[in-house]
Amino acid sequence: MFGNLSDRLSDTFKNLRGKGRLSASDIDATLRDIRRALLEADVALEVVKDFIGAIRERALGDEVSKALNPAQQVVQIVNEELTQILGGESKQLRFAKSPPTVIMLAGLQGSGKTTLAGKLAKWLKEQNQTPLLVAADLQRPNAVTQLEVLGERTGVSVFAPEPGNGAGDPIEVAKKAIAHAKKAQFSVVIVDTAGRLGVDEEMMKQAIGIRDAVDPDEILFVVDSMLGQDAVNVAKAFKEGVGVTGVVLTKLDGDSRGGAALSVANVTGAPILFSSTGEGLDAFETFHPDRMAGRILDMGDVVSLIEQAQKSFDEEESKKLAEKILSDSFTLQDFLEQMQQLRKMGNMKSILGMMPGAGKMKQQLEDFDESEIGRTEAIIFSMTPVERNMPKVLNGSRRQRIAKGSGTTVTEVNQLVNRFEQAAKVMKTMSKGGMPNIPGTNPVQMGGSVGGGYIGGRKKDSKKKGSKSGNPAKRAAENKGLGYLATPETKPGSAFGLEK
Amino acid sequence: MFKFLKRLRGEQASAVQSQALEQEVAVETTLDNLAPDLTAREDSPVEPPKSTVSVQPILADQAAAETEGQDHKAPDQAARPIQLEAVELPKRSLGSGVRSLFGEAVNIDELEDILIMADFGVEVAEEITAQVKKDANKQGASSDAELRLLLKDLLTERLNREDSALNLDDGKLPYVFLVVGVNGAGKTTTIGKLARWLKDGDWEVVLGAADTYRAAAVDQLATWADRAESPIIRPAKEGADPAAVAYQTVEMAINTGADIAIIDTAGRLQSKKDLMDELGKIRRAVEKQAKISEVLLVIDATNGQNAMSQARAFTDVADVTGIVMTKLDGTAKGGILYALQKELDLPIKLVGVGEQINDFAFFSPEEFAKGLVAKK
């Protein structure tokens, strides 16, 4: 099988290196790769065709031939166009001027509507809304019960006058629900409907009936991100049938590339509002088109990573760290603090998952043991201040003592010290302004890149388009040549114990 | 089309049984003669269904728990053999479940795109198109009908497999089916339909609700169990250990002398390592008491290339033995099943073609290919 797009493109680009200009055939070769990558990511063929056409036009234009690095420019264009189709900036849910705001959910069977209803209700509740869940899926066995359980878990009221399992009229339920919501002053009504196929005319009529009964402010089309080529037909059917004002992508926590997002956004013209990323009721977030673009192209999610890092990295501390690195006094103590800061950013798995090229390491990420960080901490805590500040003094007997004190083995202590030394080296390179170019020190670079993007004073640039590191695609492409994170032949996993 | 072995029940059973007791020796010789025919599944015209009877030894504790169809039960019959019969399941077909690939006359130059749009995948689409072109040239086929036939034959031939029957023919009762898949693929519905189907064929089925995770999943299966008139084992409480449910399900199947136990599992995305490991645990729990006859991976036909990744991951941890393609009645063509069979060597065994309890059939390459090339 083929690797991801970044890999394939970097292959193509290898041949282009040193070329000041791209010929039309160079561009076509690149576009062929992109086409294939998009198809393998399950973007619908007709969408791919349009898309490639648009890219070709731009790529043949001035902006590429004049660019310093034409190949990367192509990727940048692809990324921009992708983000564009996916909806540019993140969009917000529309609320009615006078409550209740009515949100109707529609989609295929098994796309995750009921689960999403629960998540949405919880999210709205956290925004100080008073949501009401309406059980209008009277088709699937026990969909009503499922919604009731979700209501219970989230502490949200559920309007379920009918037991379901084929009995009752969902249109009636929907009507009554609105009356009930007005009377009981709920601010948002979420109407869960039965899953239906786009070609099922009768069911589509029913959906229209429900829509007309509740006059929704948003009709959210719930889409399984694993959807294949059929996404186009389904999206068309729902758009023409019940109508779509917004899209929700579910099951994004899987390993699908989510090309369906592109197809659906393109066909419906409706913005993707939310993405659902797991089975927990909190696994729900506002959709970020730029991040999705990176995912479809498998270029990681550098922007998200930077944002998250910026949130949790204290600027002051980072400055201090930068100075230390420059003055060569980066110590194990700093290493520990840096790691603790990293941990503040959240679950290591999700952070690492955002890195470019991480597609390859998905399995390793899932295997990644968070407690590894705990062990590393224990080892450093078992050192004396002198040892932490001057790792050079760590001789055999000291190491033995540390191993004993931290309940680990000397080997583990040795590994940590090695990783630290590598990390220090990488950071030094980075802080001097260059990207690290040491293959095999991958997750160290992760620490490095997060801190480094900052330390190197490029923080402000990081969001600016066209800057060295701002654009995820471009940045990823740049990093690509540097064995970023997932050089296959080298073992990923030094500093934070990814190794298994 | 396929022949399976199940327990012989009812009057026939008792009749045969007394006969069997009288002529024990004779029947045993028959068994030796019959065995090869029965395992040959399909074409065994010599033995008409429902009349083939073989006898196998039975464990004492199994016999003690037997209730049905045993009119003259006596303690001294502890070593009574299970009587098996070879049966077919009631006929069900894909019907008009699969939609045609072609809205208009076949244009061979567009074939590749059309196959891609049917989720065959780029590589497969290229390969099939090249083959069709080659064959068309060789045979001088150019008309619409000829090309359709060419494609149909090609697909039928390549999709045909020897191992596409359900593993219900080794006579080691109870058969245990484990049903796995990602969230929303249609596992529970599949089990409901399969249970009803078997029930219609006079099989005794026990269902196990080992999806202890999703809200109301157990109730959903319970509703299907009702429709299929089959008993169900429920977890003691929400979030209970699915392996325990699986164990109890098999236990009940053994104790009640059921033919088959079908165990529902929670949907899990293949990228979730810990959840996938849980499947291994369920497997082990089942294998303490019985052999697992079939691990069915349920795949949503609307899924695209990700289905490959699903199949790979589930095969790794759960030893998938067959695939069920669901939701083929939509506009999705399920072309990915071609790659699933070819690349992963996993047979497609069943297909779901609607929400009704009977919208379910064995996968037939011929019917599938016919549907794909049909004239609208």
Residue A140 touches partner B, C-beta closer than 8 Å: yes
Closest CA–CA distance from residue A477 to any residue of chain B (Å): 25
Could A230 and B302 be called an inter-chain contact, meaning their C-beta atoms sit closer than 8 Å?
A: yes
Cβ contact (<8 Å) for A255 and B224? no
Average pLDDT, chain B: 81
Q: Which of A61, A85, A109 is the last residue of a domain?
A: A85
Q: Is A407 in the same domain as A482?
A: no
Q: Is the residue at A96 inside a domain?
A: no
Contact A366/B355, CB-based, under 8 Å?
no
Question: How many beta carbons lie within 10 A of that of residue A385, not counting itself?
Answer: 9
> What pLDDT is attached to residue B324?
95
Task: Kindly determine whether residue B122 and residue A254, on different chains, have CB atoms separated by under 8 Å.
Answer: no
Residue A92 lies in a domain: no
Residue B19 DSSP label: H
> A281 and A165: one domain?
yes
Q: Do A110 and B305 touch (CB under 8 A)?
A: no
Identify whether A480 is part of a domain.
Answer: yes
Contact list, A118 vs chain B (CB under 8 Å): 215
Query: Looking at the structure, do residues A442 and A328 belong to the same domain, yes or no?
Result: yes
**pLDDT attached to residue A327:** 66
Tell me what pLDDT residue A193 has.
93
Domain endpoint, select from A299, A328, A357: A299
What pLDDT, on a 0 to 100 scale, did the predictor assign at position B252? 94
Higher pLDDT, A425 or B84: B84
Tokens of A485: 């994170």
pLDDT in tens, B96-120: 778 888 888 888 889 999 999 999 9
- From chain A, the residues in CB contact with B274 under 8 A are 366
Angle among Cα A449, A452, A457 to the nearest 5 degrees reads 135
| Judgement on whether residues A238 and A372 belong to the same structural domain of the protein | no
User: Is the residue at A95 inside a domain?
Assistant: no
pLDDT at A306 (0 to 100): 42
Report CB contact under 8 Å: A140, B220: yes
* Residues from chain A contacting residue B325 (CB–CB below 8 Å): none
Asked whether A389 and A335 are in contact (CB, 8 A), the reply is: no
CATH of the domain at A127: 3.40.50.300
On the question of pLDDT at B277 being above 60, the answer is yes
- A438 versus B312: the higher-pLDDT residue is B312
From the CA of B270, how many Å to the nearest CA of chain A?
7
Cα-Cα-Cα-Cα torsion A161, A164, A170, A173, nearest 10 degrees, comes to 0
CATH at residue A8: 1.20.120.140
Q: Which residue of B has its CA nearest to A40?
A: B305
Contact B327 A229 (CB under 8 A): no
Residues A225 and A116 reside in one and the same domain: yes
Q: CATH code at A427?
A: 1.10.260.30
Give dist(CA B132, CA B126) in Å, integer. 10
Do A247 and A108 share a structural domain?
yes
Complex ipTM value: 0.74
Predicted local confidence at residue A70, as pLDDT: 62
Number of domains in chain A: 4
In this structure, the answer to whether residues A218 and A325 fall within a common structural domain is: no
Residues A426 and A474 in one domain: no
Q: Are residues A273 and A261 in the same domain?
A: yes
Q: Which of A299, A325, A347 is the last residue of a domain?
A: A299
Q: From the list B122, B188, B332, which residue is nearest A40 (CB)?
A: B122
Res A356: pLDDT: 47
Instruction: Give B4-39 pLDDT, tens digit per residue.
Output: 888 887 656 555 555 544 444 444 444 444 444 444
| A259 touching B (Cβ < 8 Å) | yes
Distance from CA of A144 to the nearest CA of B (A): 9
CA distance B147 to chain A (A): 23
Together in a domain, A264 and A148: yes
Q: What was the pLDDT predicted at A427?
A: 66
What local confidence, expressed as pLDDT, does residue B62 receive?
A: 45
Domain assignment present for residue A338? The answer is: yes
Do A113 and A178 sit in the same domain of this protein?
Answer: yes
Domain co-membership, A108 together with A221: yes
Q: Helix count (H) and strand count (E) of chain A?
A: 23, 8
* More confident call, B178 vs B272: B178
β-bridge partners, B177: B262, B294
The amino acid present at A330, given as its one-letter code, is F
Query: What's residue A129's pLDDT?
Result: 92
Whether A469 is in a domain gets the answer yes
Does A453 contact chain B (CB < 8 Å)? no
* pLDDT (0 to 100) of residue A34: 81
In a domain, A183, yes or no: yes
* Nearest alpha-carbon partner for B320 in B338, B302, B293: B293
Q: Determine the pLDDT at residue A449.
A: 37
Chain A touched by B10 (CB under 8 Å): no
Confirm whether A218 is domain-assigned. Answer: yes
Per-residue pLDDT, A328: 64
According to the model, what pLDDT value does residue A190 have?
A: 95
A228–B306 CB contact, under 8 Å = yes
Rounded Cα distance, A367 and A416, in Å: 19
CA gap A98, B126 in Å, rounded: 55
Q: Mark yes or no for CB contact B271/A253 under 8 Å.
A: yes
Contacts of B214 in chain A (CB under 8 A): 115, 146, 279
**A230/B116 CB distance under 8 A:** no
Residue ranges making up the domain that contains A176: 101-299
Identify whether the C-beta of residue A110 lies closer than 8 Å to the C-beta of residue B184.
Answer: yes
Q: What is the pLDDT along chain A (500 residues), one digit of tens a residue?
A: 234 555 555 566 566 555 666 677 777 887 888 888 888 888 899 999 998 998 888 877 766 655 556 656 676 777 778 888 887 666 788 898 888 999 999 999 888 899 999 999 999 999 899 999 999 999 888 889 999 999 999 999 999 888 877 778 999 999 999 999 999 999 999 999 999 887 888 899 999 999 999 999 999 999 998 899 989 989 999 999 999 999 999 988 877 778 888 899 889 989 899 988 887 888 888 888 877 777 776 654 444 444 444 444 455 566 666 666 666 667 787 777 777 766 655 555 555 555 544 444 555 555 555 667 778 888 888 888 888 888 888 888 999 999 999 888 898 888 888 878 877 776 666 555 544 443 433 333 333 333 333 333 333 333 334 444 445 554 554 444 443 333 333 333 333 433 33
Residue ranges of B 55-114 with Cβ closer than 8 A to chain A: 113
Candidates B113, B122, B224; nearest CB to A36:
B122
pLDDT at position A441: 37
- Chain B contact set for A229 (CB, 8 A): 116-119, 304, 332
Residue of B99, B183, B237 to mutate when probing chain A, most A C-beta within 10 A? B183
Contact A234 B302 (CB under 8 A): yes
Q: Does B332 touch chain A (CB under 8 A)?
A: yes
The partner residue sitting opposite A199, judged by closest CB among B222, B305, B330, is: B330
Residue B367 Cα, gap to closest chain A Cα (Å):
21
Mutate which: B116, B297, B355, vs A, most A CBs within 10 A? B355
